[in-house]
Amino acid sequence: MDRRQFVAGAGVGVAASASAFPMPAIAQGVRELKMVTIWPKGLPGLQSGAERVARSITAMSGGRLTVKVFPAGQLVGAMESFDAVSSGLADLYHGSEITWAGKSATFAYFCNVPFGFTADEINAWIYYGGGQALWDELSAGFGLKAFLCGNTGPQMGGWFTKELTSVEAFKGLRYRMPGIGGDVLRRLGAVVVTLPGGEIIPSLRSGAIDASEFVGPWVDMALGLHKAAKYYYYPGFHEPGAALSLSMNKKLWDSLDSTEKSIIEGAAAAENTRSLAEATAGNATALEQLLRDPAIQIRKVDDTILQELGKISGEVLSEASRKDDLARRVYDSFIKFRTAAVRWGDISERAFLNARALPYPFGG
Summarize pLDDT for 153-197 with one digit per residue, the tens: 999 999 999 999 999 999 999 999 878 898 999 999 999 998 767
**What pLDDT was estimated at residue 40?**
84
Cis peptide before 235 (omega within 30 of 0): yes
DSSP states of 76-134: S-GGGHHHHHHTTSSSEEEE-GGGGTTT-GGGGGGT--TT---HHHHHHHHHHSSHHHH
The amino acid that residue 109 corresponds to is Y
Summarize pLDDT for 75-92 with one digit per residue, the tens: 999 899 999 999 999 999
Mean of all residue pLDDT scores within the chain = 92
**What pLDDT was estimated at residue 15?**
40
Q: What are phi and psi of 36, to 5 degrees?
A: -100, 155
Give the predicted TM-score (pTM) of the model.
Answer: 0.89
Give start and end residues of each alpha helix (H) in 141-257. 179-186, 200-206, 217-223, 250-255
Q: Please state whether 172 falls in left (phi above 0), alpha (psi between -120 and 50) or beta.
A: left
What lies within 8 Å, CB to CB, of 65 at 6+ separation is 30, 31, 33, 57, 58, 260, 263, 264
Chain mean position to CA 353? 25
**Closest by Cα among 151, 145, 143 to 132:** 145
Summarize pLDDT for 7-65 with one digit per residue, the tens: 333 333 444 444 444 455 555 679 999 999 998 888 899 999 999 999 999 999 999 99
Mean of the pLDDT values across residues 193-203? 83
- Domains, the chain: 3-154+241-282 (3.40.190.170), 158-239+295-344 (3.40.190.10)
